[in-house]
Amino acid sequence: MSIHHISKSYGPVQALNDVSFEVSKGELFGLIGPDGAGKTTLIRILTTLLLPDSGEARVIGLDPVKEFRALRKHVGYMPGRFSLYQDLTVEENLNFFATIFGTSVRENYHLIKDIYSQIEPFKDRKAGNLSGGMKQKLALSCAMIHEPEVLILDEPTTGVDAVSRKEFWEMLHRLKDRGITILVSTPYMDEASLCDRVALIQNGHILNVGAPADLVKSYSRHLWAVKASHTLRLIEDLRKHPAAYSAFPFGDSVHLALKGELAEGELLDYLSKKEHREIEIKAVEANIEDVFMELMAKKQAV
C-alpha cells in the first residue's frame, strides 16, 4: 500500500492534510489517532469509497480511483459501524457476501474456519441479535470470505471491552501469519504495540510513522513516574516546578516530563516540602501516549 500526498476536505474542514506513508506486503500496520483525526476518511479513500481532492494511492499496485473494480476483488473491508444485514442470520450474511464476490462459503471455508467456527453454533441467529464480540467475528469472516490479499479494518475494537479486544488482536496476528497485509485503525494508543509499524495521526496530519519501539525510543525527554497520596494536588504541584514540561496521570502514577534535568533527590525534597505523603519516584521509559502527546504539542506550537 502506498499513500502519496493525499488531501481531502469536507467544505471548510480539512480531514486529511498531505498524508503520505507506505505499508509493506505482509505487514500489520496501525493507523492510530483519536476521533476526528482523519482515519476513516483515509480508509474510505483506500477502499475505493471516497475520492481524494489531491494526491494518489496504490493498493496492491492498483489505483483506488481508476481501478476500483479490480481493487475491490482483492480488498477485505470491515467498516467502523456494524454494517451487515441485521435481519439476516449469521449464515445468510456469510453466504450473501460470498455470492457477491463470486465465491462460496464451501470453497473458502478454510480461510475463515478459525474465526467462523466460534460463531457457527449460532449460525441461525439473526446478526442483529449477536453480542458485540460475535458481531465482530462475523464481520471479519464476511470481510475475509473472498480471499483478499489486503484487509482494511476501521476501528474494529472501539467500544469493545479489554478481553474482546485482546482476542481480536490475536485473530489479526493469525491472519498476518498467513501472509495477509493488514491496515487497522484504532483510537486506543496501547494497541500500537501490537502492530509491526504504526502511523500516528491527528487533525488530518501524520505526526510520525515507524515501529512502536522506535517511536518510543525517539522520545527525548526525561520522564519520572511519581506517586503520592493526593493525585490532584500532586499534578498541580509537579506542574509548578520550574523544570516541569508537563505532568499528566498515567495509570497509577503521574508522568512528569522534564524540560531539562531534575535529580530524583531534588524532586523528592520539593514534594516533601509541599507536604506530599507516600511519595514514590521512579524513572520510566516513555510509552506511545507520551510520544503522541509530545508530537501533538509540537504540532500545535507550530
Partner 1 sequence: MNLAITTESLTKKFGAFTAVDAISLEVAQGEIFGFLGANGAGKTTAMRMLTGLSRPTSGRASVAGFDVSRQPEQIKRNIGYMSQKFSLYEDLTVKENIRFYGGIYGLSLKNIGIKTEQLLEELDLREVSKTPVKSLPLGWKQKLAFSISQVHDPAIVFLDEPTGGVDPITRRHFWELIYRAADKGRTVFVTTHYMDEAEYCDRISIMVDGKIAAMGSPSALKKEHQAPSINELFVRLARVTTAGLG
Q: CA 286, CA 172: separation in Å to the nearest integer?
A: 26
Instruction: Kindly state whether residue 162 participates in binding partner 1, applying the rule CB under 8 A.
Output: yes
Q: What is the 3-state secondary structure (H, E, C) of 219-236?
A: CCCCEEEEECCCHHHHHH
Question: Is position 36 an interface residue for partner 1 (rule: CB under 8 A)?
Answer: yes
Find where cell 515501529 sits: 211
Of residues 251 through 270, those in contact with partner 1 by CB under 8 A are: 251-252
Site size toward partner 1, by CB under 8 A: 38
Minimum Å distance from CB 209 to partner 1?
18
SS3 call for 123: coil
Helical spans, DSSP H, in the chain = 39-46, 68-72, 90-100, 105-116, 132-144, 162-177, 212-217, 231-240, 264-273, 288-301
64 in Cβ contact with 57 (< 8 Å) = yes
Nearer to partner 1, 232 or 263 (CB): 232
Among 231, 243, 279, 284, binds partner 1 (CB under 8 A): 231
Would you count residue 159 as binding partner 1 (CB under 8 A)? yes
245 close to 221: Cβ distance less than 8 angstroms: yes
User: CB of 38 within 8 A of CB of 16?
Assistant: yes
- Binding partner 1 (rule: CB under 8 A), the pick from 96, 101, 109, 250 is 250
Least CB distance to partner 1 at residue 138 (A): 12
Question: 32, 192 in Cβ contact below 8 A?
Answer: yes
Grid coordinates representing 137?
467475528
Site string for partner 1, 186-225 (x = CB under 8 A): -xxxx-----------x-----------------------
| Binding residue for partner 1, selected from 35, 69, 178, 273, defined by CB under 8 A | 35
Q: Please identify which residue in 167, 258, 279, 281 interacts with partner 1, judged by CB under 8 A.
A: 167
Does the footprint of partner 1 cover residue 11 (CB under 8 A)?
A: no
Q: Which of these ranges, 70-78, 87-95, 128-136, 175-183, lies near partner 1 under the rule CB under 8 A?
A: 128-136
Q: How far is the CB of 136 from partner 1 (least distance, A)?
A: 10
The string of DSSP codes covering 39-80 is HHHHHHHHTTSS--SEEEEEBTTB-TTTSHHHHHTTEEEE-S
Pick the stretch among 106-114, 146-154, 249-257, 258-266 that binds partner 1 (CB under 8 A): 249-257
Return the residue of 10, 163, 301, 302 that touches partner 1, per CB under 8 A. Answer: 163
Q: Do strands 75-78 and 150-153 pair parallel, antiparallel, or not at all (unpaired)? A: parallel
CB 244 within 8 A of CB 256: yes
Stretch that binds partner 1, among 90-98, 152-160, 218-226, 266-274 (CB under 8 A): 152-160
Q: Which of the ranges 93-101, 109-117, 124-132, 143-151 carries the binding residues for partner 1, by CB under 8 A?
A: 124-132
Q: Please give the DSSP secondary-structure letter assigned to residue 125.
A: S
125 CB-near residues (< 8 Å, 6+ apart): 89, 90
Q: Is 158 in the site for partner 1 (CB under 8 A)?
A: yes
Residues contributing to the site for partner 1 (CB under 8 A)? 33-37, 130-135, 158-164, 166-167, 187-190, 202, 231-232, 235, 248-252, 289, 292-293, 296-297
